[in-house]
Amino acid sequence: MLGAQPAKAHAYILAMFPYPSGSLHMGHARVYSLSDVLARFHRQSGRKVVHPIGWDAFGLPAENAAIERGLAPAAWTQSNIAHMRTQLAALGAAFDWHRELSTSDPAYFRWTQHLFLRLWRAGLVERREALVNWDPVDGTVLANEQVSPDGRAERSGARVELRRLAQWFFKITHYAEDLVGDLDALDWPDSVKQQQLNWIGLQHGVALDLAVAPHCEPAAAPARVEVFVPDAATSTERHGLCIAVGPEHPILASLQRRIAASVRINTDAWLDGGVARRASSHRLRDWLVSRQRSWGTPIPIVHCDSCGPVPVPEDQLPVTHTWTASSTHKAAPGDSDAAACACPKCNGAARRETDTMDTFVDSSWYWLRYLDPHNTSAMASPSCSAQLPTDVYIGGIEHAIMHLLYARFIAKFLAADGVVALERGEPFARLLAQGMVLGTAYRCPDTGKYLAPTDVDTSGEPRVVATGKRAIVSVEKMSKSKHNGVDPMPVFERHGVDATRLYLLYRAAPQDELVWDSAAIVGMERFLARVRTLVDGVCAAGSGGSIASSPPAESGTASSATLAKAMADAREQVTAAMTRFGFPVAVASLIKLSHALADCPPHHAQTRRAVDLLLRLLHPFAPVVTLELAGRLAGAPVTTEQLAWPSAADAAFEVAVQICVVQINGKKAAVMEDVPAVIAHDHAAIQAHVLASPVVAQLLADPATGAQLAPRRVVVAKTGKLVNIVV
């Protein structure tokens, strides 16, 4: 998709922003290496690039962690952000730091509150009593999406209780049809689309109203019940719906009794008879956004006994009452005097809403704010629409449902409400769902417990140090409790950030799981050392000045054809990887080019040209070392933008070749197609080229011993197109 738009002047490369937990993990290193590769490629291609970073800073984990440490959530979060900022800098990623935002910053959530009020004005916010999922450990309500199928809270693991409480909802169901229909236009992995489809669960069918009278109270007035029957329905049992009707009911005439005791429902007859109507239904429920916690965006509503719920006027935003920078107590904001206020409508005594919003509201619109992060009069200027949708959105597959669904809903609303011009209201045209980084975990065979690294001897077959027994080895998602996490910072220090990035990009395709193996990074260190040696050689050969002023290519060496092919292949494969994300193949082609260069004389202009090409193509993957080496080659410091992306012409040079028939004792044995044309009249050079060929070496091997037969005589024809070897 990106490749099909070469004329595009800008690119928006967005990676999901981190939660400021306090330390960068390997998943972060992987996702931001991926986004940085793409951002640098587009900068090298002359595009204006948006590559922002920020912090998904509200939420329960920060609140709980701060309470445990006796700190205020704001102070805890800010110190985590400061630390992680230095870690991200160490990753070598070129972020637009001037766009940095934090969802817990009043300058940001003032506009999250504005979004709430926009939704309110559009009739898409509702407060109603609902049977909700109550997490007794975290003391808050959870969305259905945050409860696992076995009825436990995803975060705390507590068994969720059902309670009837007044809660705030966003009417996402209003957009259910669009959220399904517009998936088709998105360049997203099919698995993610399918998960969204399953979650929304849209079905078409027929609806009819049934009058239901309880049979134990024949005098009672019948209740009317709307019944939905999906088109795919073949039996009542399958949908868990059992409708009992009296024998005299006319509806029975349209039911055909079959011999799954199943009943096939003839909805056509109902439609024809005017009993039912076409309708759709979905599994998706309205988005419950109320949270009874303090570390979140306060809901900007005032409750007045006379006026009911009243929105806080725009000029009084942000509402910050439910938390303060010094607050350390576990949130019970409803008890606080801070909730007392005057009604904005009648000026009578009122109280503020003390619920905060689900953090998924904060992250539902940050992709827009990045484009205009310092705007104090609007969520973003209308001119930002020109930079949307994002070209690539990169993030973990674990966000396939909730975050992506909520962000799509809010984008559709903002487009409908005139805040942003966005085709179909879709913010993320293309999605790269990154696979997890897995680590090797060891368990004790006796207790089944995970073992700390010091408790396992991995010098040979992994064994428990204490007992000498063979440890149980498994590859699992990195986690502290399994002792299989790898902290990226010591890895950067030991192997270098460039080698680590290359490893992350080469080890597995970005969509696949990556099994971490520290020992394998040295291969990337060796590759970078080889590149450094190549640059050292070219610089020592001293043909200073820029590539453009170099003398024409010498194509007379036997390795010219190999080098030419390696150059063209590398450019083609690395460029293709930027649109198809085939980074392992791209890095492999760069390694191959470095090997092809190893045989080239450093004083040749062609060698220098190929080394220059290698540095440009390698730059997105290994930015630190390539900027240094390209600067040495150019004789002055260079920037990413100056390392212009090579064109096909830059990566090609003419290597005229001719065919040569090889005879052994006068019999045709092989045809060589790579004899450089410039040596056609240099019989000694042709003879050397032919004898150095692996094909000829094989032909001259003694079949019994494998020893090389020594040619007694070699005759080269006048044309240079026939060589007869006499053995």
Q: Which residue has the tokens 């204006």?
A: 48
For the beta carbon of residue 86, count every other beta carbon within 10 angstroms.
Answer: 10
Contact 282, 228 (CB under 8 A): no
By beta-carbon proximity to Zn ion, the closer residue of 347 and 459 is 347
312 binds Zn ion (CB under 5 A): no
307 binds Zn ion (CB under 5 A): yes
- Minimum CB–partner distance for residue 349 and Zn ion (Å): 9
Integer CA distances (angstroms), 47 to 50, 100, 118, 623, 642, in order? 10, 21, 34, 18, 12
- Minimum CB–partner distance for residue 355 and Zn ion (Å): 19
Contact 248, 301 (CB under 8 A): no
Q: Which residue has the tokens 């207790």?
A: 447
304 binds Zn ion (CB under 5 A): yes
By beta-carbon proximity to Zn ion, the closer residue of 142 and 343 is 343
Instruction: List the x/- string, 331-360, binding to Zn ion by CB under 5 A.
Output: ------------x-xx-x------------
Integer CA distances (angstroms), 288 to 173, 334, 398, 401, 726, in order? 12, 19, 20, 15, 87
- Minimum CB–partner distance for residue 337 and Zn ion (Å): 19
Q: Which stretch binds Zn ion (CB under 5 A): 303-311, 544-552, 563-571, 599-607?
A: 303-311
Strands 255-257 and 263-265: antiparallel
CA 504 to chain centre: 14
Q: Which of residues 561-590 bind Zn ion (CB under 5 A)?
A: none
By beta-carbon proximity to Zn ion, the closer residue of 198 and 316 is 316
- Minimum CB–partner distance for residue 322 and Zn ion (Å): 21
Q: Which stretch binds Zn ion (CB under 5 A): 82-90, 178-186, 300-308, 312-320?
A: 300-308
- Minimum CB–partner distance for residue 343 and Zn ion (Å): 3
By beta-carbon proximity to Zn ion, the closer residue of 37 and 343 is 343
- Minimum CB–partner distance for residue 173 and Zn ion (Å): 30
By beta-carbon proximity to Zn ion, the closer residue of 194 and 306 is 306
Contact 487, 84 (CB under 8 A): no
By beta-carbon proximity to Zn ion, the closer residue of 313 and 544 is 313
- Minimum CB–partner distance for residue 32 and Zn ion (Å): 49
Q: Which of residues 429-458 bind Zn ion (CB under 5 A)?
A: none
By beta-carbon proximity to Zn ion, the closer residue of 345 and 424 is 345
The SS3 call for residue 449 is: coil
Q: Which residue has the tokens 């509402």?
A: 319
By beta-carbon proximity to Zn ion, the closer residue of 352 and 604 is 352
By beta-carbon proximity to Zn ion, the closer residue of 304 and 591 is 304
- Minimum CB–partner distance for residue 301 and Zn ion (Å): 12
> Token pair of 630, please?
């390209």
- Minimum CB–partner distance for residue 347 and Zn ion (Å): 7
The angle subtended at Cα 549 by Cα 546 and Cα 551, nearest 5°, is: 120
Q: Which stretch binds Zn ion (CB under 5 A): 115-123, 243-251, 301-309, 371-379?
A: 301-309
Q: Which stretch binds Zn ion (CB under 5 A): 240-248, 277-285, 305-313, 601-609?
A: 305-313
Query: How many angstroms separate the CA atoms of 56 and 21, rounded?
Result: 10
Query: How many angstroms separate the CA atoms of 580 and 575, rounded?
Result: 9
Torsion sign across C-alpha atoms 253, 254, 259, 262: negative
| Cβ neighbours of residue 433 closer than 8 Å, sequence gap 6 or more | 188, 189, 191, 192, 395, 396, 397, 400, 511
The SS3 call for residue 82 is: helix
- Minimum CB–partner distance for residue 126 and Zn ion (Å): 20
Query: How many angstroms separate the CA atoms of 676 and 661, rounded?
Result: 14
- Minimum CB–partner distance for residue 166 and Zn ion (Å): 18
Instruction: List the x/- string, 260-299, binding to Zn ion by CB under 5 A.
Output: ----------------------------------------
- Minimum CB–partner distance for residue 336 and Zn ion (Å): 20
Q: Which of residues 209-238 bind Zn ion (CB under 5 A)?
A: none
Q: Convert 211-234 to b/e letters by CB count within 10 Å (16 or more is b).
A: eeeeeeeeeeeeeeeeebbbeebe
- Under rule CB under 5 A, how many of the chain's residues touch Zn ion? 7
3-class SS letters over 131-200: EEEEECCCCEEECHHHECCCCEECCCCCECEEEEEEEEEECHHHHHHHHHHHHHHCECCHHHHHHHHHHH
Q: At what angle do helices 623-634 and 521-541 cross, to 10 degrees?
A: 10
3-class SS letters over 13-41: EEECCCCCCCCCCHHHHHHHHHHHHHHHH
- Minimum CB–partner distance for residue 319 and Zn ion (Å): 17
Query: How many angstroms separate the CA atoms of 465 and 183, rounded?
Result: 53
- Minimum CB–partner distance for residue 311 and Zn ion (Å): 12
Environment class of 161 (CB within 10 Å of its CB; exposed 0-12, middle 13-18, buried 19+) = exposed
306 binds Zn ion (CB under 5 A): yes
Q: Could you please report the per-residue DSSP string of 519-544? A: GGHHHHHHHHHHHHHHHHHHHHHT--
By beta-carbon proximity to Zn ion, the closer residue of 3 and 348 is 348
By beta-carbon proximity to Zn ion, the closer residue of 289 and 343 is 343
By beta-carbon proximity to Zn ion, the closer residue of 181 and 348 is 348
For 308: left if phi > 0, alpha if psi spans -120 to 50, otherwise beta; the answer is left
Q: Which stretch binds Zn ion (CB under 5 A): 304-312, 397-405, 600-608, 705-713?
A: 304-312
- Minimum CB–partner distance for residue 305 and Zn ion (Å): 7
308 binds Zn ion (CB under 5 A): no
- Minimum CB–partner distance for residue 308 and Zn ion (Å): 8
- Minimum CB–partner distance for residue 118 and Zn ion (Å): 22
Instruction: List the x/- string, 461-490, binding to Zn ion by CB under 5 A.
Output: ------------------------------
By beta-carbon proximity to Zn ion, the closer residue of 211 and 340 is 340
Q: Which of residues 121-140 bind Zn ion (CB under 5 A)?
A: none
688 binds Zn ion (CB under 5 A): no
- Minimum CB–partner distance for residue 161 and Zn ion (Å): 34
The angle subtended at Cα 642 by Cα 637 and Cα 648, nearest 5°, is: 135
By beta-carbon proximity to Zn ion, the closer residue of 50 and 304 is 304
By beta-carbon proximity to Zn ion, the closer residue of 266 and 306 is 306
597 binds Zn ion (CB under 5 A): no
Q: Which stretch binds Zn ion (CB under 5 A): 306-314, 356-364, 407-415, 620-628?
A: 306-314
Q: Which of residues 159-198 bind Zn ion (CB under 5 A)?
A: none
| Cβ neighbours of residue 307 closer than 8 Å, sequence gap 6 or more | 343, 345, 346, 348, 350
By beta-carbon proximity to Zn ion, the closer residue of 101 and 304 is 304
By beta-carbon proximity to Zn ion, the closer residue of 308 and 382 is 308
Kind plus residue range of the DSSP H or E element containing 593: helix 583-598
Q: Which stretch binds Zn ion (CB under 5 A): 102-110, 192-200, 302-310, 539-547?
A: 302-310
Contact 152, 146 (CB under 8 A): no
User: What single DSSP character describes residue 296?
Assistant: S
Query: How many angstroms separate the CA atoms of 699 and 366, rounded?
Result: 66
By beta-carbon proximity to Zn ion, the closer residue of 348 and 544 is 348
Residues that bind Zn ion (CB under 5 A): 304, 306-307, 343, 345-346, 348
